[in-house]
Structure 1
């Protein structure tokens, strides 16, 4: 049994673990990373963010090919199977793994492949199949083990027609009908993907509105366009039983409804990956969802042990996880670049996509903030007309008296890119963080970014007419 000594050991090589390991190494620490899978990248690269977004991009191209009149002069509409589209995603995954493997090599970071568990404070055991156990000793540990789909015991996920958001990537056919249970971010994204492939989708939501954390107008727009693409959204429903057989899956609801489909996809919640980690040996306990509690410096109650990323819960975004990992590494060295990650834009990769930053109209109304709205509809912009992506809008919420920008919400093609222009301005001080910046700045024409100027002028005109 070999023993190795390090300044810091990072458990997990997803965005949070990678951010922590790279920052610690750059700051001169001797770093090791433990990864349970046989290649680096974590669930983000292999099961979550990267494959689902690569799938989405391919499906979006298929939709364009089948609906654009220009392509109809070339040939008939084409049908693409899910496995064929998935092969494109697998190429992206292999490229990401190669890229990230080189990151660790260049930064002289040792990577151990195997399952990690704490023996005691300052000591970690790594066990991999067919190999001797290895002991890693360090003063500091950063837990970045991520999350996995939460799977209730009364649903048989071993059945070949019942999937969760990880196992769906092993789907080897294209079903004609599908029930997606859970209308959170992951459920809505997969509803877009499968409906884009021509699958008849029933999307089950246990609430009365899709993605209720979004601005209501944006949420309503998503609902409309999902329905427009033949997705049947069913609100305020909870399952009673889910039974699979040789020909499909039957879902009984507490409301008395019954649905039958070729396949069933569970997208209702995720759990932190802490099972078997030996937290009890260092005095830590995960909550009922497997998540670890931390303070605003990402410290756990065990001295020298940090936790970052999905394993701590909110906001459970790859972008935030990377920054949390970097911040934890900075904190253990008491470096001056530490920051608590609480200003995170949402990026939801439905078709069309959604992104937002700052307050919603509902929040501002509840807080009694005198705000006004500036909007630009993409159908009226030249770039959207040229690209054939007219669906969507940019919405700026600003203070009626100071013109300070309070929130930005975008729905449509490239929303997750467009949002960052507004995010940068919101972080400025003084008049630089006002609607007037967009009015007094010349944007390239035609661009999608030009929507900021259009929305700003519309907002100022609304105030002038009061």
Structure 2
């Protein structure tokens, strides 16, 4: 069997793989990318970020329509099922696939569909659909295979009432009730989505509060909002067993609690996609979560093999994965990289309403004994929020009492993931350019949500004097 030679090979076409491939192609390398799915884009495009956020957008539009007094006389005529809302995401997914495939074509990157497996440290076998195999060799290889939902071995995920965050997108109908086990980002997003469809939701949390990495005030606001939407939240629970039958599924917890609903959504943990890659043949051993350990340059124990994205663990964000891929591409092409990844990046959580934050929380600042003050703007007082009807939420800035340096930005409300970038840009400045005074001395368009920064900054400065 003939072997094709490349400068570099990338396994996976999600954000991390795409970032690496594009950077290497721009550097003039001969590149191949290998994709196990039948279309490029990875889990981000097909099962994760894009479909779930498109679903959330459709539900938000439906909620806005139902709330708008102009359409009160037709509200009762709108009956939308879960699959109808999912179909609205198909066009977005297809366009994303076409766009990304054009990137590879335009940059002369060879796309090979099939399952990759290491035969030697620099040699891969690719099993194509239909049984054909190819052999590819390269000086450098980037593993960007992503992750999948964790499946406890004792749970039968082939049962139609037991779903994970991938298979929930194939629900054939809107369930009347759902229990979500795991209250991380995915669990909270789906609790918010389902409750907006008037589904009865049990959100079972293994910890003592939701999303504990966020600012406490933000998570308190999220908990309050979810409960207002009818979500029943149970903290500090651990599952004992699951009992699935024809008439429902029962989650049994160690505390003795039982939750019987139409559907169980398992949203507790993810596993790196390193199975069946032949890593044992080359001496690489994933950890118990299926993730690969890497150094600061994203090199594995074999320096010519890199790993990026979800397969290396946190932060497991599409935005960060893409940057990791670009970093690795530069490192391979130049032997070094003259730029580094940012230490602080924003998190975006697409609940209804959404959450975004960057920087430190009040809890962290207090523990570090840093003198800080709070600047806050409630969306209910912002003209643009009043116009759009999205008055639930707030923008919260944490800043140093003496230097006025911005230390953290936390936003809960419509467009939070967009609003946070304004503050991020100022936080990235050095010295006097990064102070809360920037927002009081800058003119914002009116009415806009960005005006919340001016309102918050004035609020914070008033607390000092």
- Are the equivalent residues in 2 in contact too, given 1:21–1:329 (CA < 8 A)? yes
1:323 matched residue in structure 2: 323
1:163 matched residue in structure 2: 163
Root mean square deviation, CA, Å: 1.0
> Which shows bigger deviation, 189-198 or 72-81?
72-81
1:435 matched residue in structure 2: 436
Pairwise CA distance, 1:334: 3.0
Pairwise CA distance, 1:75: 4.3
Give unpaired runs (5+ residues) of structure 2: none
CA–CA distance in structure 1, aligned partners of residues 69 and 446 of structure 2: 25
2:352 matched residue in structure 1: 351
Pairwise CA distance, 1:77: 5.6
CA–CA distance in structure 1, aligned partners of residues 162 and 2 of structure 2: 42
Give unpaired runs (5+ residues) of structure 1: none
- Are the equivalent residues in 2 in contact too, given 1:203–1:233 (CA < 8 A)? yes
Pairwise CA distance, 1:189: 0.5
Q: Determine whether 1:112 maps to 2:109.
A: no
1:444 matched residue in structure 2: 445
1:27 matched residue in structure 2: 27
Pairwise CA distance, 1:335: 5.2
- Are the equivalent residues in 1 in contact too, given 2:327–2:337 (CA < 8 A)? no
TM-score (norm 2): 0.98
CA–CA distance in structure 1, aligned partners of residues 29 and 76 of structure 2: 59
Q: Determine whether 1:301 maps to 2:294.
A: no
2:127 matched residue in structure 1: 127
Instruction: Give a deviation string over 1:377-434, Cα, whole Å, max 9, x none.
Output: 0000100000100000000000000000000000000000000000000001111100
CA–CA distance in structure 1, aligned partners of residues 451 and 73 of structure 2: 32
- Are the equivalent residues in 1 in contact too, given 2:293–2:312 (CA < 8 A)? yes
Pairwise CA distance, 1:359: 0.3
Pairwise CA distance, 1:336: 4.4
CA–CA distance in structure 1, aligned partners of residues 222 and 70 of structure 2: 27
Pairwise CA distance, 1:2: 3.6
Where does 1:25-424 land on structure 2 (aligned, <5 Å)?
A: 25-76=25-76, 78-332=78-332, 333-334=334-335, 336-424=337-425
Determine helix, strand or coil for the equivalent of 1:73.
helix
> Which shows bigger deviation, 342-351 or 363-372?
342-351
CA–CA distance in structure 2, aligned partners of residues 21 and 361 of structure 1: 40
Pairwise CA distance, 1:133: 1.0
Instruction: Give a deviation string over 1:204-239, Cα, whole Å, max 9, x none.
Output: 101010000000000000000011111111111111
Determine helix, strand or coil for the equivalent of 1:76.
helix
CA–CA distance in structure 2, aligned partners of residues 75 and 142 of structure 1: 51
CA–CA distance in structure 2, aligned partners of residues 360 and 387 of structure 1: 29
CA–CA distance in structure 2, aligned partners of residues 337 and 56 of structure 1: 39
Instruction: Give a deviation string over 1:150-174, Cα, whole Å, max 9, x none.
Output: 0101111110111000111111111
- Are the equivalent residues in 2 in contact too, given 1:377–1:392 (CA < 8 A)? yes
Determine helix, strand or coil for the equivalent of 1:98.
helix
Pairwise CA distance, 1:249: 0.3
Instruction: Give a deviation string over 1:101-122, Cα, whole Å, max 9, x none.
Output: 1111001000111111111111
Pairwise CA distance, 1:131: 3.5
Determine helix, strand or coil for the equivalent of 1:310.
helix
Pairwise CA distance, 1:67: 2.2
CA–CA distance in structure 1, aligned partners of residues 361 and 278 of structure 2: 41
